[in-house]
């Protein structure tokens, strides 16, 4: 798969088969994140991989799903939950500020890398960080930034033309995601 194909296939997925992702692949995704750019090359982004069934079950209620959807369509049904999570942390002993770009670059490498393995992802910012900290015994000098939910896709995601709203919607087993046209994003070419 080339880069353009990976970028175009990268869609948010919220429903998963229950096939296990091999640990080696999860570690490979962290390796992709490891080599992402970091401001001043100060590498402060670290990770926790959650893959055991017991810990996945405890993590599931600590993330919030699909705020744009009606409540009954947001959360994956039983048997369609993520089969792994990657918790994205910032080690504030290494870097105190200006790390959001570092986090974004690292996460995008994980998301694109996952696509090449046929894995679906959901980059989540609406999380219960205090409860995640306790559950995973994460020291206070780490800022818990995001959770990435992962699994083999059990739904599809379709790009739709933007029409007056950025709000996405679900029809059957498809998520529909409005995206603006390229021409509307380029202010000018000089």
pTM: 0.94
Per-residue pLDDT reduced to its tens digit, 120-155: 999 999 999 999 999 999 999 999 999 999 999 999
- In order, the DSSP letters of 125-174 are --B-HHHHHHHHT--TTEEEEEEEEEE-BSSEEEEEE--S----EEETTE
The second-level CATH assignment, the architecture, of 3-154 is: 3-Layer(aba) Sandwich (3.40)
Per-residue pLDDT reduced to its tens digit, 3-62: 999 999 999 999 999 999 999 999 999 999 999 999 999 999 999 999 999 999 999 999
Residue 70 has pLDDT above 90, yes or no: no
Using a pLDDT cut of 90, give the percent of the chain over it: 87
Q: Enumerate the domain spans of the chain.
A: 3-154
* Environment class of 165 (CB within 10 Å of its CB; exposed 0-12, middle 13-18, buried 19+): exposed
Residue 73 has pLDDT above 90, yes or no: no
pLDDT number for residue 64: 94
Residue 67 has pLDDT above 90, yes or no: no
């Amino acid at each position: 798969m080339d880069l353009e194909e990976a970028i175009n296939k990268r869609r948010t997925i919220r429903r998963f088969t229950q096939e296990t992702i091999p640990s080696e692949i999860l570690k490979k995704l962290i390796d992709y994140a490891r080599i992402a750019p970091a401001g001043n090359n100060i590498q402060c982004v670290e990770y926790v991989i959650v893959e055991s069934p017991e810990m996945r079950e405890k993590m599931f209620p600590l993330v919030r799903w699909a705020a744009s959807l009606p409540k009954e369509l947001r959360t994956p049904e039983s048997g369609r939950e993520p089969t792994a999570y990657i918790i994205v942390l910032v080690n504030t002993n290494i870097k105190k500020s200006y790390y959001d770009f570092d986090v974004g670059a690292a996460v995008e490498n994980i998301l694109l890398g996952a696509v090449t393995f046929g894995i679906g992802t959901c980059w989540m910012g609406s999380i219960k960080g205090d409860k995640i900290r306790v559950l995973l015994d994460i020291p206070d000098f780490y800022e818990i930034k995001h959770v990435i939910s992962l699994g083999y896709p059990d739904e599809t995601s379709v790009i739709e033309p933007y029409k007056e709203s950025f709000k996405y919607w679900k029809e059957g087993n498809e998520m529909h995601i409005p995206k603006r046209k390229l021409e509307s994003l380029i202010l000018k070419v000089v």
